[in-house]
Chains A and B, each alone.
Chain A
Protein backbone atom coordinates (compact mmCIF):
# COMPACT_ATOMS: atom_id res chain seq x y z
CA UNK A 1 0.00 0.00 0.00
CA UNK A 2 1.69 3.20 -1.06
CA UNK A 3 1.66 6.13 1.30
CA UNK A 4 -0.04 9.13 -0.26
CA UNK A 5 0.37 11.64 2.54
CA UNK A 6 2.62 11.62 5.58
CA UNK A 7 2.83 14.14 8.40
CA UNK A 8 5.84 13.98 10.72
CA UNK A 9 6.48 15.82 13.97
CA UNK A 10 3.83 18.49 13.40
CA UNK A 11 3.61 21.19 16.09
CA UNK A 12 1.07 23.96 15.80
CA UNK A 13 -0.83 26.39 17.93
CA UNK A 14 -2.90 29.42 17.03
CA UNK A 15 -1.14 32.76 17.61
CA UNK A 16 -3.46 34.02 20.35
CA UNK A 17 -3.76 30.80 22.26
CA UNK A 18 -1.41 29.26 24.79
CA UNK A 19 -2.79 25.77 24.40
CA UNK A 20 -1.10 23.93 21.54
CA UNK A 21 -3.29 22.18 19.00
CA UNK A 22 -0.68 19.68 17.85
CA UNK A 23 2.44 18.50 19.61
CA UNK A 24 4.75 16.24 17.69
CA UNK A 25 1.84 14.83 15.72
CA UNK A 26 2.48 12.22 13.06
CA UNK A 27 0.03 10.67 10.65
CA UNK A 28 0.17 8.44 7.61
CA UNK A 29 -2.47 8.14 4.96
CA UNK A 30 -2.39 5.30 2.45
CA UNK A 31 -3.94 5.39 -0.97
CA UNK A 32 -7.58 4.23 -0.96
CA UNK A 33 -7.81 4.34 2.83
CA UNK A 34 -11.09 5.68 4.22
CA UNK A 35 -10.69 7.43 7.55
CA UNK A 36 -13.23 9.22 9.70
CA UNK A 37 -12.29 11.87 12.27
CA UNK A 38 -14.61 12.54 15.18
CA UNK A 39 -14.16 14.53 18.32
CA UNK A 40 -15.44 17.49 20.29
CA UNK A 41 -15.63 21.01 18.82
CA UNK A 42 -12.34 22.83 18.94
CA UNK A 43 -10.10 19.77 19.23
CA UNK A 44 -8.41 20.59 15.94
CA UNK A 45 -10.08 18.44 13.29
CA UNK A 46 -10.49 21.23 10.72
CA UNK A 47 -7.01 22.52 11.57
CA UNK A 48 -5.70 19.04 10.88
CA UNK A 49 -7.30 18.99 7.43
CA UNK A 50 -5.96 22.44 6.62
CA UNK A 51 -2.43 21.41 7.60
CA UNK A 52 -2.75 18.32 5.38
CA UNK A 53 -3.65 20.43 2.35
CA UNK A 54 -1.16 23.20 3.07
CA UNK A 55 -3.60 26.02 3.87
CA UNK A 56 -1.98 26.33 7.31
CA UNK A 57 1.77 26.04 7.75
CA UNK A 58 2.69 24.16 10.93
CA UNK A 59 5.15 25.75 13.35
CA UNK A 60 7.35 22.65 13.17
CA UNK A 61 7.29 19.40 11.27
CA UNK A 62 7.22 18.12 7.72
CA UNK A 63 4.68 16.99 5.18
CA UNK A 64 5.46 14.36 2.56
CA UNK A 65 3.38 13.75 -0.54
CA UNK A 66 4.10 10.41 -2.23
CA UNK A 67 7.40 10.26 -0.37
CA UNK A 68 8.64 13.70 -1.41
CA UNK A 69 8.71 16.64 1.00
CA UNK A 70 6.19 19.38 0.33
CA UNK A 71 8.07 22.66 0.58
CA UNK A 72 7.59 24.99 -2.39
CA UNK A 73 4.47 26.37 -4.09
CA UNK A 74 5.05 23.92 -6.92
CA UNK A 75 5.02 20.97 -4.47
CA UNK A 76 1.76 22.27 -3.04
CA UNK A 77 0.29 22.64 -6.53
CA UNK A 78 1.17 19.04 -7.39
CA UNK A 79 -0.28 17.77 -4.12
CA UNK A 80 -3.53 19.72 -4.56
CA UNK A 81 -4.02 18.23 -8.00
CA UNK A 82 -4.27 14.81 -6.40
CA UNK A 83 -5.84 15.57 -3.02
CA UNK A 84 -9.14 17.44 -3.15
CA UNK A 85 -10.62 19.50 -0.30
CA UNK A 86 -14.34 20.07 0.22
CA UNK A 87 -15.08 23.05 2.47
CA UNK A 88 -17.70 23.09 5.16
CA UNK A 89 -19.59 25.99 3.57
CA UNK A 90 -20.35 25.30 -0.11
CA UNK A 91 -21.02 29.00 -0.77
CA UNK A 92 -17.30 29.64 -0.40
CA UNK A 93 -16.56 27.06 -3.03
CA UNK A 94 -19.06 28.08 -5.73
CA UNK A 95 -17.95 31.29 -7.37
CA UNK A 96 -18.81 30.88 -11.04
CA UNK A 97 -22.17 31.94 -12.49
CA UNK A 98 -23.35 28.58 -13.82
CA UNK A 99 -22.93 25.03 -12.56
CA UNK A 100 -21.04 23.77 -15.61
CA UNK A 101 -18.55 26.64 -15.45
CA UNK A 102 -17.88 26.05 -11.77
CA UNK A 103 -17.21 22.35 -12.23
CA UNK A 104 -15.02 23.09 -15.27
CA UNK A 105 -12.94 25.62 -13.31
CA UNK A 106 -10.58 22.94 -11.99
CA UNK A 107 -9.92 21.20 -15.34
CA UNK A 108 -9.43 24.53 -17.12
CA UNK A 109 -6.82 25.55 -14.53
CA UNK A 110 -5.08 22.21 -14.98
CA UNK A 111 -4.53 23.11 -18.62
CA UNK A 112 -7.28 21.21 -20.42
CA UNK A 113 -8.92 22.82 -23.38
CA UNK A 114 -12.55 23.89 -23.41
CA UNK A 115 -14.01 20.71 -24.94
CA UNK A 116 -12.08 18.35 -22.65
CA UNK A 117 -13.03 20.46 -19.64
CA UNK A 118 -16.71 20.29 -20.59
CA UNK A 119 -16.55 16.49 -20.91
CA UNK A 120 -14.88 16.06 -17.53
CA UNK A 121 -17.34 18.50 -15.98
CA UNK A 122 -20.30 16.53 -17.30
CA UNK A 123 -18.75 13.28 -16.04
CA UNK A 124 -18.31 14.76 -12.57
CA UNK A 125 -21.91 15.93 -12.50
CA UNK A 126 -22.83 12.41 -13.51
CA UNK A 127 -20.87 10.97 -10.58
CA UNK A 128 -22.81 13.05 -8.06
CA UNK A 129 -26.06 12.33 -9.91
CA UNK A 130 -26.65 15.95 -10.85
CA UNK A 131 -27.11 15.63 -14.60
CA UNK A 132 -29.36 18.31 -15.98
CA UNK A 133 -28.02 20.99 -13.66
CA UNK A 134 -25.45 22.33 -16.14
CA UNK A 135 -27.08 25.67 -16.87
CA UNK A 136 -28.46 26.41 -13.43
CA UNK A 137 -27.24 29.49 -11.55
CA UNK A 138 -24.99 28.41 -8.67
CA UNK A 139 -26.16 30.80 -5.99
CA UNK A 140 -29.81 29.98 -6.61
CA UNK A 141 -29.44 26.28 -5.75
CA UNK A 142 -30.75 24.78 -2.54
CA UNK A 143 -28.36 23.90 0.30
CA UNK A 144 -28.25 20.21 -0.57
CA UNK A 145 -27.69 20.90 -4.27
CA UNK A 146 -24.84 23.30 -3.44
CA UNK A 147 -23.25 20.64 -1.25
CA UNK A 148 -23.38 18.04 -4.01
CA UNK A 149 -22.13 20.58 -6.51
CA UNK A 150 -19.10 21.42 -4.36
CA UNK A 151 -18.34 17.70 -4.31
CA UNK A 152 -18.54 17.61 -8.11
CA UNK A 153 -16.21 20.60 -8.46
CA UNK A 154 -13.51 18.73 -6.53
CA UNK A 155 -14.14 15.44 -8.34
CA UNK A 156 -13.57 17.25 -11.65
CA UNK A 157 -9.90 17.55 -10.71
CA UNK A 158 -9.81 13.72 -10.77
CA UNK A 159 -8.04 13.44 -7.41
CA UNK A 160 -6.73 10.28 -5.76
CA UNK A 161 -8.09 11.25 -2.36
CA UNK A 162 -10.52 13.76 -0.88
CA UNK A 163 -10.65 15.59 2.42
CA UNK A 164 -14.17 16.50 3.55
CA UNK A 165 -14.94 18.94 6.35
CA UNK A 166 -18.33 18.24 7.96
CA UNK A 167 -20.06 17.28 4.71
CA UNK A 168 -23.47 16.61 6.23
CA UNK A 169 -24.11 19.78 8.24
CA UNK A 170 -27.57 21.12 7.60
CA UNK A 171 -28.63 18.39 5.20
CA UNK A 172 -31.96 16.63 5.15
CA UNK A 173 -31.95 12.79 5.33
CA UNK A 174 -32.60 12.43 1.59
CA UNK A 175 -29.57 14.50 0.53
CA UNK A 176 -27.48 12.88 3.25
CA UNK A 177 -28.24 9.44 1.85
CA UNK A 178 -27.46 10.74 -1.62
CA UNK A 179 -23.99 11.80 -0.47
CA UNK A 180 -23.41 8.48 1.29
CA UNK A 181 -24.34 6.67 -1.91
CA UNK A 182 -22.07 8.89 -4.02
CA UNK A 183 -19.07 8.53 -1.68
CA UNK A 184 -19.42 4.77 -1.55
CA UNK A 185 -19.43 4.55 -5.34
CA UNK A 186 -16.15 6.46 -5.63
CA UNK A 187 -12.85 4.66 -5.78
CA UNK A 188 -10.89 7.24 -3.80
CA UNK A 189 -9.17 7.63 -0.49
CA UNK A 190 -11.22 9.69 1.96
CA UNK A 191 -10.58 11.59 5.16
CA UNK A 192 -13.89 12.78 6.56
CA UNK A 193 -14.29 15.07 9.56
CA UNK A 194 -17.78 14.88 11.00
CA UNK A 195 -19.95 14.76 14.11
CA UNK A 196 -22.37 12.48 12.34
CA UNK A 197 -21.35 9.06 13.59
CA UNK A 198 -23.77 7.12 11.38
CA UNK A 199 -22.49 8.94 8.32
CA UNK A 200 -18.85 8.17 9.10
CA UNK A 201 -19.70 4.60 9.90
CA UNK A 202 -21.33 4.09 6.51
CA UNK A 203 -18.58 5.75 4.47
CA UNK A 204 -15.29 5.02 6.25
CA UNK A 205 -13.62 2.01 7.79
CA UNK A 206 -11.18 3.45 10.33
CA UNK A 207 -11.83 6.01 13.02
CA UNK A 208 -9.52 8.55 14.55
CA UNK A 209 -9.76 11.36 17.02
CA UNK A 210 -7.43 14.08 18.22
CA UNK A 211 -6.28 13.83 21.81
CA UNK A 212 -3.35 15.38 23.66
CA UNK A 213 -2.12 17.08 20.52
CA UNK A 214 -1.90 13.91 18.46
CA UNK A 215 -4.10 11.85 16.21
CA UNK A 216 -5.12 8.54 17.79
CA UNK A 217 -6.85 5.67 16.23
CA UNK A 218 -10.02 4.48 17.89
CA UNK A 219 -10.13 0.74 17.62
CA UNK A 220 -11.95 -0.36 20.71
CA UNK A 221 -15.69 -0.87 20.50
CA UNK A 222 -17.40 0.76 23.46
CA UNK A 223 -20.83 -0.39 24.48
CA UNK A 224 -23.10 2.55 25.32
CA UNK A 225 -26.68 3.71 25.38
CA UNK A 226 -28.42 6.70 23.92
CA UNK A 227 -31.34 8.04 25.95
CA UNK A 228 -34.00 10.25 24.43
CA UNK A 229 -37.66 10.89 24.76
CA UNK A 230 -40.57 11.54 22.45
CA UNK A 231 -44.32 10.78 22.41
CA UNK A 232 -45.06 7.10 22.27
CA UNK A 233 -41.71 6.11 23.71
CA UNK A 234 -43.18 3.36 25.78
CA UNK A 235 -44.64 1.66 22.69
CA UNK A 236 -42.54 -0.67 20.56
CA UNK A 237 -40.85 1.25 17.75
CA UNK A 238 -37.60 1.54 15.76
CA UNK A 239 -35.35 4.35 14.61
CA UNK A 240 -33.25 4.89 11.49
CA UNK A 241 -34.90 2.31 9.26
CA UNK A 242 -36.29 4.78 6.66
CA UNK A 243 -34.20 4.83 3.42
Chain B
Protein backbone atom coordinates (compact mmCIF):
# COMPACT_ATOMS: atom_id res chain seq x y z
CA UNK B 1 0.00 0.00 0.00
CA UNK B 2 1.44 3.28 -1.05
CA UNK B 3 1.55 5.74 1.77
CA UNK B 4 1.85 8.99 -0.13
CA UNK B 5 1.33 11.21 2.90
CA UNK B 6 3.79 9.42 5.17
CA UNK B 7 6.82 10.89 3.40
CA UNK B 8 7.67 14.37 4.52
CA UNK B 9 9.71 16.59 6.72
CA UNK B 10 7.20 18.89 8.35
CA UNK B 11 6.55 19.45 12.03
CA UNK B 12 3.66 17.02 11.90
CA UNK B 13 5.76 14.34 10.23
CA UNK B 14 8.41 14.61 12.89
CA UNK B 15 6.12 14.75 15.91
CA UNK B 16 5.77 11.75 18.20
CA UNK B 17 2.99 9.54 16.78
CA UNK B 18 1.55 8.91 20.22
CA UNK B 19 1.00 12.62 20.78
CA UNK B 20 -0.49 12.85 17.30
CA UNK B 21 -2.94 10.00 17.88
CA UNK B 22 -4.15 11.38 21.21
CA UNK B 23 -4.48 14.93 19.84
CA UNK B 24 -6.26 13.73 16.72
CA UNK B 25 -8.67 11.64 18.75
CA UNK B 26 -9.54 14.58 21.01
CA UNK B 27 -10.09 16.95 18.12
CA UNK B 28 -12.10 14.52 16.02
CA UNK B 29 -14.43 13.63 18.88
CA UNK B 30 -14.99 17.31 19.58
CA UNK B 31 -15.71 18.23 15.97
CA UNK B 32 -18.14 15.34 15.68
CA UNK B 33 -20.39 16.77 18.39
CA UNK B 34 -20.46 20.40 17.22
CA UNK B 35 -23.93 21.77 16.73
CA UNK B 36 -23.49 25.06 14.99
CA UNK B 37 -21.84 26.51 11.97
CA UNK B 38 -19.54 29.16 13.54
CA UNK B 39 -17.69 26.55 15.59
CA UNK B 40 -17.55 24.10 12.69
CA UNK B 41 -16.25 26.80 10.36
CA UNK B 42 -13.53 27.77 12.86
CA UNK B 43 -12.55 24.14 13.24
CA UNK B 44 -12.37 23.73 9.47
CA UNK B 45 -10.28 26.86 9.11
CA UNK B 46 -7.83 25.62 11.74
CA UNK B 47 -7.53 22.23 10.02
CA UNK B 48 -6.56 24.08 6.85
CA UNK B 49 -3.72 25.55 8.87
CA UNK B 50 -2.70 21.96 9.74
CA UNK B 51 -2.69 21.18 6.02
CA UNK B 52 -0.36 24.09 5.45
CA UNK B 53 1.96 22.99 8.28
CA UNK B 54 2.12 19.42 6.99
CA UNK B 55 3.17 20.55 3.49
CA UNK B 56 1.41 17.66 1.78
CA UNK B 57 1.07 17.35 -2.03
CA UNK B 58 -2.00 19.36 -2.96
CA UNK B 59 -3.22 17.17 -5.83
CA UNK B 60 -3.41 14.12 -3.58
CA UNK B 61 -5.27 16.01 -0.88
CA UNK B 62 -7.82 17.26 -3.40
CA UNK B 63 -8.33 13.72 -4.73
CA UNK B 64 -8.91 12.42 -1.22
CA UNK B 65 -11.31 15.15 -0.25
CA UNK B 66 -13.14 14.70 -3.53
CA UNK B 67 -14.22 11.19 -2.61
CA UNK B 68 -15.76 12.24 0.71
CA UNK B 69 -17.30 15.36 -0.76
CA UNK B 70 -18.95 13.35 -3.50
CA UNK B 71 -20.87 11.61 -0.74
CA UNK B 72 -21.57 14.91 0.98
CA UNK B 73 -22.82 16.42 -2.30
CA UNK B 74 -25.29 13.58 -2.44
CA UNK B 75 -26.55 14.67 0.99
CA UNK B 76 -26.94 18.23 -0.31
CA UNK B 77 -29.48 16.90 -2.79
CA UNK B 78 -31.69 15.53 -0.05
CA UNK B 79 -31.17 17.33 3.24
CA UNK B 80 -32.40 20.81 2.33
CA UNK B 81 -35.56 19.34 0.85
CA UNK B 82 -36.39 16.84 3.55
CA UNK B 83 -35.75 18.79 6.77
CA UNK B 84 -38.80 20.84 7.79
CA UNK B 85 -38.39 24.57 8.44
CA UNK B 86 -38.65 28.04 7.00
CA UNK B 87 -38.35 27.93 3.22
CA UNK B 88 -35.36 29.69 1.73
CA UNK B 89 -36.04 28.94 -1.92
CA UNK B 90 -38.05 26.50 -3.99
CA UNK B 91 -37.38 24.34 -7.01
CA UNK B 92 -40.62 23.32 -8.69
CA UNK B 93 -42.57 21.56 -5.96
CA UNK B 94 -39.73 21.13 -3.49
CA UNK B 95 -38.95 23.63 -0.75
CA UNK B 96 -35.43 24.01 0.61
CA UNK B 97 -35.55 24.87 4.28
CA UNK B 98 -33.06 27.03 6.17
CA UNK B 99 -32.59 24.28 8.74
CA UNK B 100 -31.86 21.77 6.02
CA UNK B 101 -29.26 23.97 4.43
CA UNK B 102 -27.74 24.69 7.83
CA UNK B 103 -27.44 20.99 8.48
CA UNK B 104 -25.87 20.36 5.08
CA UNK B 105 -23.30 23.12 5.64
CA UNK B 106 -22.56 21.79 9.12
CA UNK B 107 -22.03 18.27 7.84
CA UNK B 108 -19.80 19.47 5.01
CA UNK B 109 -17.60 21.48 7.35
CA UNK B 110 -17.36 18.72 9.94
CA UNK B 111 -16.61 15.94 7.44
CA UNK B 112 -13.85 17.87 5.76
CA UNK B 113 -12.35 19.03 9.04
CA UNK B 114 -12.28 15.49 10.43
CA UNK B 115 -10.81 14.05 7.25
CA UNK B 116 -8.08 16.69 7.13
CA UNK B 117 -7.17 15.95 10.74
CA UNK B 118 -6.92 12.24 9.94
CA UNK B 119 -4.71 12.94 6.93
CA UNK B 120 -2.41 15.41 8.65
CA UNK B 121 -2.10 13.63 11.98
CA UNK B 122 -2.59 9.92 11.32
CA UNK B 123 -1.46 9.45 7.74
CA UNK B 124 1.79 11.30 8.25
CA UNK B 125 3.06 8.30 10.18
CA UNK B 126 4.08 5.01 8.49
CA UNK B 127 1.72 2.18 9.45
CA UNK B 128 4.22 -0.02 11.39
CA UNK B 129 5.20 2.93 13.59
CA UNK B 130 1.58 3.91 14.02
CA UNK B 131 0.91 0.37 15.22
CA UNK B 132 3.67 0.68 17.80
CA UNK B 133 2.21 4.00 18.95
CA UNK B 134 -1.20 2.41 19.40
CA UNK B 135 0.37 -0.46 21.30
CA UNK B 136 2.09 2.06 23.58
CA UNK B 137 -1.25 3.75 24.13
CA UNK B 138 -2.55 0.46 25.47
CA UNK B 139 -4.60 -0.61 22.47
CA UNK B 140 -4.97 -4.45 22.78
CA UNK B 141 -2.13 -6.35 21.09
CA UNK B 142 -4.54 -8.43 19.03
CA UNK B 143 -5.97 -5.34 17.32
CA UNK B 144 -2.51 -3.98 16.65
CA UNK B 145 -1.50 -7.28 15.05
CA UNK B 146 -4.59 -7.30 12.85
CA UNK B 147 -3.61 -3.86 11.61
CA UNK B 148 0.03 -4.83 10.95
CA UNK B 149 -0.65 -8.14 9.29
CA UNK B 150 -3.40 -6.61 7.11
CA UNK B 151 -0.97 -3.94 5.98
CA UNK B 152 1.70 -6.54 5.24
CA UNK B 153 -0.49 -9.01 3.37
CA UNK B 154 -3.18 -7.00 1.65
CA UNK B 155 -1.04 -6.62 -1.49
CA UNK B 156 -0.18 -10.30 -1.49
CA UNK B 157 -3.84 -11.26 -1.33
CA UNK B 158 -4.74 -8.77 -4.03
CA UNK B 159 -2.04 -10.22 -6.29
CA UNK B 160 -3.38 -13.72 -5.69
CA UNK B 161 -6.82 -12.56 -6.73
CA UNK B 162 -5.35 -11.01 -9.87
CA UNK B 163 -3.57 -14.24 -10.72
CA UNK B 164 -6.85 -16.14 -10.45
CA UNK B 165 -8.55 -13.62 -12.74
CA UNK B 166 -5.71 -13.91 -15.26
CA UNK B 167 -5.90 -17.70 -15.14
CA UNK B 168 -9.59 -17.50 -15.93
CA UNK B 169 -9.03 -15.07 -18.81
CA UNK B 170 -6.36 -17.24 -20.35
CA UNK B 171 -8.93 -20.01 -20.51
CA UNK B 172 -11.34 -17.83 -22.43
CA UNK B 173 -13.42 -16.39 -19.59
CA UNK B 174 -15.31 -13.26 -20.57
CA UNK B 175 -17.47 -11.65 -17.86
CA UNK B 176 -21.10 -11.46 -18.95
CA UNK B 177 -24.42 -11.19 -17.25
CA UNK B 178 -25.03 -14.88 -16.63
CA UNK B 179 -24.86 -17.54 -13.98
CA UNK B 180 -21.52 -18.86 -15.22
CA UNK B 181 -19.93 -15.46 -14.62
CA UNK B 182 -21.38 -15.08 -11.15
CA UNK B 183 -20.35 -18.58 -10.23
CA UNK B 184 -16.82 -17.97 -11.49
CA UNK B 185 -16.44 -14.77 -9.50
CA UNK B 186 -17.91 -16.45 -6.44
CA UNK B 187 -15.39 -19.29 -6.78
CA UNK B 188 -12.54 -16.83 -7.13
CA UNK B 189 -13.51 -14.88 -4.05
CA UNK B 190 -13.96 -18.13 -2.12
CA UNK B 191 -10.55 -19.35 -3.27
CA UNK B 192 -8.91 -16.12 -2.16
CA UNK B 193 -10.59 -16.45 1.23
CA UNK B 194 -9.50 -20.06 1.65
CA UNK B 195 -5.94 -19.33 0.57
CA UNK B 196 -5.75 -16.33 2.88
CA UNK B 197 -6.99 -18.45 5.76
CA UNK B 198 -4.38 -21.13 5.10
CA UNK B 199 -1.68 -18.51 4.67
CA UNK B 200 -2.74 -17.04 8.00
CA UNK B 201 -2.23 -20.44 9.63
CA UNK B 202 1.24 -20.76 8.09
CA UNK B 203 2.31 -17.25 9.10
CA UNK B 204 1.06 -17.91 12.61
CA UNK B 205 3.06 -21.13 12.72
CA UNK B 206 6.16 -19.32 11.50
CA UNK B 207 5.69 -16.74 14.26
CA UNK B 208 5.21 -19.36 16.97
CA UNK B 209 8.33 -21.19 15.83
CA UNK B 210 10.27 -17.98 16.46
CA UNK B 211 9.04 -17.63 20.00
CA UNK B 212 5.98 -15.47 19.46
CA UNK B 213 3.70 -15.41 22.50
CA UNK B 214 1.18 -12.69 21.71
CA UNK B 215 3.17 -9.69 22.87
CA UNK B 216 4.18 -6.94 20.53
CA UNK B 217 7.85 -5.93 20.32
CA UNK B 218 9.59 -3.57 17.97
CA UNK B 219 13.05 -2.20 17.24
CA UNK B 220 11.67 1.33 17.01
CA UNK B 221 11.88 3.59 20.03
CA UNK B 222 9.87 6.72 20.72
CA UNK B 223 11.28 9.92 22.16
CA UNK B 224 8.77 12.35 23.59
CA UNK B 225 10.01 15.89 23.06
CA UNK B 226 8.85 19.30 24.21
CA UNK B 227 7.22 19.96 20.86
CA UNK B 228 5.02 16.88 21.31
CA UNK B 229 3.76 18.09 24.68
CA UNK B 230 3.10 21.46 23.04
CA UNK B 231 1.17 19.68 20.32
CA UNK B 232 -1.02 17.90 22.84
CA UNK B 233 -1.61 21.11 24.77
CA UNK B 234 -2.54 22.92 21.56
CA UNK B 235 -5.04 20.19 20.79
CA UNK B 236 -6.64 20.65 24.21
CA UNK B 237 -6.80 24.41 23.66
CA UNK B 238 -8.34 23.82 20.27
CA UNK B 239 -10.98 21.58 21.79
CA UNK B 240 -11.75 24.03 24.58
CA UNK B 241 -12.10 27.04 22.29
CA UNK B 242 -14.22 25.22 19.72
CA UNK B 243 -16.59 23.99 22.39
CA UNK B 244 -16.77 27.48 23.84
CA UNK B 245 -17.67 28.96 20.46
CA UNK B 246 -20.27 26.26 20.00
CA UNK B 247 -21.99 27.04 23.28
CA UNK B 248 -21.88 30.84 22.95
CA UNK B 249 -25.31 32.25 22.27
CA UNK B 250 -25.08 33.65 18.75
CA UNK B 251 -27.59 35.26 16.51
CA UNK B 252 -27.47 33.67 13.06
A55 sits at the interface (CB 8 A): yes
Among candidates A80, A91, A110, A157, residue contacting B208 with C-beta atoms closer than 8 Å = A80
Report which residue of A81, A89, A96, A105 has the largest number of chain B beta carbons within 10 angstroms of its beta carbon.
A105
Tell whether, in the assembled complex, residue B202 and residue A139 are in contact, meaning their CB atoms are under 8 Å apart: no
B152 on interface, CB distance cutoff 8 Å? yes
B233 at the interface (CB under 8 A from A): no
B202 & A92 in contact (Cβ 8 Å cutoff): yes
Whether B128 sits at the interface, judged by CB under 8 Å, is yes
Contact with B along A92-119 (1 / 0, CB 8 A): 1101110011001110111000100110
Q: What are 24 A-B interface contacts by the 8 Å CB criterion? A: A77-B211, A77-B213, A80-B210, A80-B211, A87-B202, A87-B206, A89-B202, A91-B156, A92-B206, A93-B206, A95-B206, A96-B128, A106-B210, A106-B211, A108-B217, A108-B218, A109-B210, A109-B215, A114-B219, A117-B219, A139-B156, A153-B210, A154-B210, A157-B210
A109 adjacent to B217 (CB under 8 Å): yes
Q: Is the CB of B211 within 8 A of A110?
A: yes
B199 proximal to A (CB < 8 A):
yes
Task: With A109-B217, A114-B219 as known contacts, state yes or no: A139 contacts B152, CB within 8 Å.
Answer: yes
Closest A-chain residue to B205, C-beta based? A55
Cβ–Cβ < 8 Å partners of B217 in chain A: 105, 108-109
Q: A87-B202, A92-B199, A109-B213 are in contact. Are A104 and B208 (CB under 8 A)?
A: no
Q: Which residues of A contact B215 (CB under 8 A)?
A: 109
B63 at the interface (CB under 8 A from A): no
Contacts of B209 on A, CB cut-off 8 Å?
53, 55, 80, 84-85
Query: Is B139 part of the binding interface, using a Cβ–Cβ cutoff of 8 Å?
Result: no
Q: Nearest Cβ distance between residue B205 and chain A, in whole angstroms? A: 6
Asked if residues B207 and A95 are in contact (CB atoms below 8 Å), the reply is yes
With CB as the reference atom, state the residue of chain B lying closest to A80.
Answer: B209
Complex contacts, B213 vs chain A, CB 8 Å:
77, 109
Size bracket, chain B contacts: 20 to 34
Known contacts A87-B206, A91-B156: A100-B219 contact under CB 8 Å: yes
Q: Are B128 and A97 in contact (CB under 8 A)?
A: yes
Bound Cα distance A100, B220 (Å): 11
B149 within 8 A of A: yes
Asked whether any CB of chain A lies closer than 8 Å to the CB of B221, the reply is yes
Across-interface contacts of B207 in A (CB, < 8 A):
95, 105
* Docked-complex contact A95 and B210, CB < 8 angstroms: no
Of the candidates B127, B210, B218, the one having the most CB atoms from chain A within 10 angstroms of its own CB is: B210
Residue of B nearest to A92 (CB): B202
Q: Complex Cα distance A96/B221, Å?
A: 16
Answer yes or no: B203 CB below 8 A from chain A CBs: yes
Beyond A80-B210, A101-B219, A106-B210: 7 further Cβ-contacts under 8 Å? A87-B206, A92-B205, A95-B207, A105-B210, A110-B211, A114-B221, A139-B152
> Which 3 interchain pairs have the tightest Cβ spacing?
A109-B211, A108-B217, A92-B202
Chain A minimum-CB-distance residue to B221: A114
Instruction: Give min CB distance, A114 to chain B, whole Å.
Output: 6
The one of A53, A81, A118 in contact with B219, judged by C-beta atoms closer than 8 angstroms, is A118
Chain B 136-171 residues near chain A, CB threshold 8 A: 149, 151-153, 155-156
Would you give the shortest CB distance from A161 to chain B, in whole angstroms? 13
Interface residues of B in 182-241 (CB under 8 A from A): 199, 202-203, 205-213, 215, 217-219, 221
Point out the residues of chain B lying under 8 angstroms from A53, CB to CB: 209
Q: State how many angstroms separate the Cβ of A124 from the closest Cβ of chain B.
A: 12
Contact A95 B149 (CB under 8 A): yes
Chain B residues, Cβ within 8 Å of A117: 219
Instruction: Tell me the smallest distance from the CB of B6 to a CB of chain A, in Å.
Output: 12
CB proximity of A88 to chain B, nearest CB, Å: 10
CA distance A96 to B128 in the complex (A): 9
**Residue from B127, B208, B212, B215 whose CB has the most chain A CB atoms within 10 Å:** B208
Who on chain A is nearest to B145 by CB?
Answer: A95
CA distance A85 to B211 in the complex (A): 12
